[in-house]
Amino acid sequence: MDLDQIVRAVRGARRITVLTGAGVSAASGIPTFRGPDGLWKQFRAEQLATPEAFERDPRLVWEWYDWRRQKVAACQPNAAHRVLAAWSQRWPTCHIITQNVDDLHLRVGTRDLVRLHGSIWDVSCWNGCAAAPSRWRDERVPLDEVPPRCPHCGGLVRPAVVWFGESLDPADVEAAHAATASCDLFISAGTSAIVYPAAAFLHDAKRRGATTAEINLETTPASEIVDIAVQGKVEEVLEQVEAALGA
Ligand code: NAD
């Protein structure tokens, strides 16, 4: 693997941006969407994480989220989260952009974190009722009512995450673009690199002249275009990079 290359790239970089995906949390025990544990009952994520699925069967969608919330609550951050948090604390110009909704990056104190797809602990009123805030935190595990109800209007509550087919929060997109535009090393870690617009950040960084790297167990569409492709477990690779840096 190109470990030496990535160590040199990290050592030489002035501004690092890391895009993370479900693979970063796999070692914590949280299933990825496209991995072997990606199915819940007989459903794929794409069949549940959409407004149409919620409209059709809110109870089913909430049962899936309740199951995922229980899984996340029982998991601990792993070495990948810890190393990235250390980078964000050590280097103020290091930015982490995540597609994960599990908040494990936050739990280890990652600074300057952009959560492109929101948090699994945030909810909002499905009807957008005027009395409710735009979103609020609900950390009940398991939920005592499925589907949960809006405390303001009694209507349905939805997970305040970005579902397939929905737009990202413009402020998050802007922050991610800014982090991508300013970096001289862009690392795509543990993501299948196919969900847009997140996947476009790598292309953007490359076009702007940044060195690009990928850390993934498998080859992905990104593998062919990056300067450095490291095949391996992200939690092990990042720990080795950190050790080589002498940190
Ligand atoms: P994905 O499931 O499409 O891909 C996961 C990628 O991680 C794969 O390319 C796989 O080869 C790689 N991988 C798995 N284990 C790894 C490891 N130990 N080390 C390195 N690589 C590893 O996930 P994605 O690319 O993040 O995108 C799909 C969507 O899934 C995102 O929108 C995200 O919100 C959502 N998602 C989030 C979580 C979470 O919050 N933890 C979990 C599942 C899915």
**pLDDT tens per residue, range 157-200:** 999 999 999 999 999 999 999 999 999 999 999 998 888 877 89
Q: Same structural domain for residues 150 and 204? A: no
At residue 1 the predicted structure's pLDDT band, cuts being 50, 70 and 90, is: low
Average pLDDT over residues 3-26: 97
Closest ligand 1 atom to residue 161 Cα is 34
CA angle at 210 for the pair 187 and 118, rounded to the nearest 5°: 45
Check pocket membership of 34 for ligand 1, CB cut-off 6 A: yes
Note the Cα 31 to chain centre separation in Å: 13
61 & 89 share domain:
no
CATH number of the domain to which 92 belongs = 3.40.50.1220
- Is the per-residue pLDDT at 102 higher than 70? yes
Same domain for 207 and 99, yes or no, is: yes
Ligand 1 centroid vs 23 CA: distance in angstroms? 4
Q: What is the pLDDT of residues 17-61, one digit of tens each?
A: 999 999 999 999 998 887 777 778 788 888 999 999 999 999 999
**Residue that finishes a domain, picked among 103, 131, 161:** 161
Of 107, 136, 161, the residue at which a domain comes to its end is: 161
The predicted model scores a pTM of 0.95
Q: Is 21 in the pocket of ligand 1 (CB under 6 A)?
A: yes
Are 95 and 211 members of one domain?
yes
Q: Which of 191, 201, 233 to mutate to test the pocket of ligand 1 (most atoms within 8 A of CB)?
A: 191
151/42 same-domain check = yes
Domain C-terminal end among 161, 187, 217? 161
- The pLDDT of residue 183 is 98
Residues 8 and 55 in one domain: no
The answer to whether residues 112 and 175 belong to one domain is yes
The residues that are catalytic are 117
When the pLDDT of each residue in the chain is averaged and rounded to a whole number, the result is 95
Q: Does the beta carbon of 77 lie inside 6 Å of ligand 1?
A: no
CATH number of the domain where residue 142 is located: 3.30.1600.10
Same-domain status, 113 and 225: yes
Q: How far is the CA of 152 from the centre of ligand 1 (A)?
A: 35
Q: Do 137 and 48 fall within a single domain?
A: yes
Closest CA to 86 of 246, 205, 193: 246
Is residue 109 within 8 A of residue 135, CB to CB? The reply is no
Q: Whose C-alpha lies nearest to ligand 1, atom 22?
A: 23
**Mind giving me the DSSP string for 153-175?**
TSSBEEEEEPPTTPPPPHHHHHH
pLDDT at 223: 94
Full domain range(s) for residue 193? 3-29+77-117+168-246
pLDDT at 247: 73
Could you give the number of structural domains in the chain? 2
Average pLDDT over residues 71-89: 98
Ligand 1 atom with minimal separation from the 191 CA: 25
- Residues 17 and 106 reside in one and the same domain: yes
Whether residues 184 and 209 share a domain: the answer is yes
Query: Quick one: which atom of ligand 1 is closest to the CA of 21?
Result: 26
Please tell me the predicted confidence (pLDDT) of residue 217.
96
State both tokens at 74. Answer: 């029982």
Whole-number Å distance, alpha carbon 192 to ligand 1 midpoint, is: 6
Predicted pLDDT of residue 245: 96
Q: Looking at the chain, list the stretches that DSSP marks H as alpha helix, in order from N- to C-terminal side.
A: 3-12, 23-26, 45-48, 51-56, 58-73, 79-90, 104-107, 170-182, 200-207, 234-244
Residue nearest to atom 8 of ligand 1 (CA): 192
Asked whether 216 lines ligand 1 (CB < 6 A), one says yes
**Is there a single domain that holds both residue 197 and residue 236?**
yes
**Is residue 88 in contact with ligand 1, taking CB distance under 6 Å?**
no
Ligand 1, residue 25: give the atom nearest the CA: 41
